[in-house]
Structure 1
Amino acid sequence: MMDAIANRPHKMKNLQLKSSTQNGDALEKFGDQGGYFDVVVRPMLQQGHEGELCSWLKEMSLIRTVSHCPNTTCNGRNLAWNAARIIDKYNWACPECTRKQSIRESSFFLAIKCDLKMCLQVILAWCQVIPASVTANYLDLKDYVVKKVYERCAKVSEAYVVRHPEEWVLGGRNMVLIVDEFPGGCMTENYVDITVTKKRNNNCHTILCIAEANAIPPRMWLHMIQAVPEPIKSDKSHIGSSRCGMVEEALKEIIQHVMPDSYIVANSRARCCSYESLQELKQYRVISVEHLQKLDPPGKNKLLNNLETIWQTGVEVCEEIQEASHSSGQNILSTHLWRQRFGTTPSTAFQYMLNHIAEYYRFT
Structure 2
Amino acid sequence: MPNQVKSRDKNCTIDRFGDHGGFFDKVVRPMLQQGHEGELCLWLREMSLLRTFTNCPQEDCNGRNLTWRPARIIDKYKWTCTCCKKVQPIRDHSFFMSIKCDLKMCLQIILAWCQAIPSDITANDLGIKEHVVKKVYERCGKVVEAYVTRHSEEWILGGPGSIIIVDEFPGGYMSENSLDNTNCRKRNNNSHTILCIAEANLTTIHPAVPPRMWLHMIDANPVPTKIDRNDTTKSKCGMVEEALSEINQHVLPGSYVVANGRARCCNYESVKELKQYAALSVEYLQKFDSSNRNKFANTLETIWQTGIDVCEEVQDATRSFGQNILATYLWRQRFAISPFQSILTHIVEYYRFT
Cα distance per residue 1:118-157 (max 9 Å; x no partner) = 0000000000111000000000010100000000011111
1:278 aligns with 271
CA contact (8 A) 2:171 2:187 kept: no
CA distance in 2, matches of 1:89, 1:244: 59
CA distance in 1, matches of 2:49, 2:214: 29
**1:203 to 2:159 alignment:** no
Amino acid at match of 1:354: L
Q: CA RMSD in A?
A: 1.5
Q: Which moved more, 1:282-291 or 1:240-249?
A: 240-249
**1:342 to 2:335 alignment:** yes
Normalising by structure 2, what TM-score?
Answer: 0.92
**1:253 to 2:243 alignment:** no
CA contact (8 A) 1:62 1:357 kept: yes
Larger radius of gyration: 1
| Aligned with residue 77 of structure 2, among 76, 90, 94 | 90
CA distance in 2, matches of 1:301, 1:98: 75
What SS does the aligned partner of 2:52 have? coil
| Aligned with residue 74 of structure 1, among 61, 74, 88 | 61
Amino acid at match of 1:291: Y
CA distance in 2, matches of 1:192, 1:256: 32
CA distance in 1, matches of 2:340, 2:156: 23
CA distance in 2, matches of 1:168, 1:290: 28
2:229 aligns with none
Shift of 1:334: 0.4
Aligned counterparts, 1:217-256, within 5 A: 217-230=210-223, 242-256=235-249
Identity of aligned residues (%): 65
CA distance in 2, matches of 1:253, 1:192: 28
Cα distance per residue 1:54-105 (max 9 Å; x no partner) = 1100111100000111111111110000100000000000111110001001
| Aligned with residue 130 of structure 1, among 99, 117, 132 | 117
| Aligned with residue 312 of structure 1, among 297, 305, 311 | 305
Shift of 1:302: 2.1
Amino acid at match of 1:62: L
Cα distance per residue 1:221-271 (max 9 Å; x no partner) = 00000012249xxxxxxxx95533111000110011001111100111110
Shift of 1:296: 1.2
| Aligned with residue 150 of structure 1, among 137, 140, 146 | 137
Alignment length (residue pairs) = 336
1:355 aligns with 345
CA distance in 1, matches of 2:150, 2:135: 23
What SS does the aligned partner of 1:152 have? helix
- Point out the structure with the larger helix share: 1
| Aligned with residue 333 of structure 1, among 326, 329, 350 | 326
Amino acid at match of 1:33: H
CA distance in 2, matches of 1:211, 1:33: 29
Shift of 1:297: 2.1
